Amino acid sequence: MEYSLVCHSLYALWSSPVKKKLILLSIMFLIWVYMLYSCVGYCSTMPSLVVDSYRGKETVSAVGKRTESGRTDLVSRLLAKPQPWEDIESDYEEPSIRTAASRDLLDNEMDMDRAEDWDEMREEQQRAPEPSAMSSFSNGSGSKKLPQAIIIGVKKGGTRALLEFLRVHPDIRAVGAEPHFFDRNYDNGLEWYRELMPKTLEGQITMEKTPSYFVTREAPARISAMSRNTKLIVVVRDPVTRAISDYTQTLSKKPDIPSFESLTFKNRTTGLIDTSWSAIQIGIYAKHLDNWLHYFPMEQILFVSGERLISDPAGELGRVQDFLGLKRIITDKHFYFNQTKGFPCLKKAEGSSKPHCLGKTKGRTHPNIDPEVVQRLRDFYRPFNMKFYQMTGHNFGWD
């Protein structure tokens, strides 16, 4: 009898049109609140944009702050007088006053870097997976911390691939876009920098990557001031191949730039290399490393081989995980080799069940370079490579 009364009451409640609408509205409101909470938690982990204005001389961040452009400052850092290398016999000369053409090219290269950042961010947003209910709640918790590890270089060495591979690890949270805090946006302050970071839980590592840090003279002191315990990762690659790749990137966006050969030499007849060209200067790894060793001990810097990152990604990722003090979770089972791209891809990207390869801005076909020019560059880099091998205690086999 009591059961019948309950059923009758529920039926009467549901059969009332007004009450039916109220119940439906209540259910919809609860669903809306849940979706809003999930969205807030997910969005808080998305990388914040740091976008350089192309029309004005200022930088605009996602949090609405504006600062004067670091273009002039960055140029001075890239062309800063390096430490003397008296123990290296080479025809290396300190960068002299740049010609108008080379200054324009450097400006173009910086614009290309910014455009590349945009391309990477668009790819990041396009492949961002829909969050599950559990991951949304998890992402909404935790706190934003300054990075404990930073990929500081080098440009066109394989830094994007390394970061994408590392993000598969559940104990690594990383910003997608390059913050450029320690070179372009330092005046914004550490709290601004912290806000760019994703939220992390206890035991997780916060990371970012900005390859230009390695060649920025002020970066070591600034990172050390943030934390002397910061772990640094440098992806290095054959400096000749790296320079050609650097040129290829610029050429893809600016087809009217001078030839690689004409930019390489100050004087083709004498064979004197133009070290003021950033594509050449970046590859003098020993010179840049010397600056970092004034602030960080060698044991806090890990050098990843860009070549082995392609031929043996699991092996290099194993070294990185050990360096970061993490369990080796990323293994061979996470990779497959893409014959078209010519480099490894992830079977399952972070937060996705689908395979993922780096975007169209990666793996460009290099132009044909005069073999004599390539050999001249190899001769130029050889003493610096030898010095670098000696400093790191590792022979990367570029000679």
Each residue's pLDDT, cut to its tens digit, for the chain (399 residues) gives 544 554 555 555 555 666 777 777 888 888 877 676 555 444 444 444 333 333 333 333 333 333 333 433 433 443 343 344 444 544 555 444 344 444 445 555 555 555 555 555 555 545 444 333 334 344 568 999 999 999 999 999 999 999 999 999 999 999 989 999 999 999 999 999 999 999 999 999 999 999 999 999 999 999 999 999 999 999 999 999 999 999 999 999 999 999 999 999 998 888 899 999 999 999 999 999 999 999 999 999 999 999 999 999 999 999 999 999 999 999 999 998 887 777 789 987 655 556 778 755 556 688 899 999 999 999 999 999 999 999 999 999 998
Cα-Cα-Cα-Cα dihedral sign, residues 53, 244, 97, 383: positive
- Helix (H) / strand (E) containing 242: helix 239-253
What pLDDT, on a 0 to 100 scale, did the predictor assign at position 363? 60
What pTM, to 2 d.p., does this model score?
A: 0.71
- Judging by beta carbons within 10 Å of its beta carbon (0-12, 13-18, 19+), is residue 340 exposed, middle or buried? exposed
Q: Residue with structure tokens 């109220």? A: 22
- Helix (H) / strand (E) containing 142: none
For every residue of 299-321, DSSP letters joined together read GGEEEEEHHHHHH-HHHHHHHHH
**Phi, psi (5° rounding) for residue 328?**
-75, 90
- Going by DSSP bridges, is the β-strand pair 301-305/231-236 parallel, antiparallel, or unpaired? parallel
Q: Residue with structure tokens 């049109």? A: 17
What pLDDT, on a 0 to 100 scale, did the predictor assign at position 141? 82
Under DSSP, the state recorded for 334 is G
Binding-site positions for 3'-phosphoadenylyl sulfate: 156-160, 237, 245, 362-366
Binding-site positions: 156-160, 237, 245, 362-366
Fold of the domain spanning 143-392: Rossmann fold (3.40.50)
For every residue of 188-214, DSSP letters joined together read G-HHHHHHHSPEE-TT-EEEEE-GGGG
Q: What are the sequence ranges of the domains in the chain?
A: 143-392
Cα 188 to Cα 190: distance, rounded to the nearest angstrom: 7
In the chain, what's the furthest Cα-to-Cα distance? 108
Cα 201 to Cα 168: distance, rounded to the nearest angstrom: 16
- Of 23, 42, 211, nearest in space to 132 by CA: 42
- Of 177, 178, 196, nearest in space to 65 by CA: 196
Catalytic residue ranges: 156
Tell me if 173 sits within 8 A of 230, measured CB to CB. Answer: no
Q: Which residues are 172's β-sheet partners?
A: 205
- Of 372, 394, 391, nearest in space to 87 by CA: 391
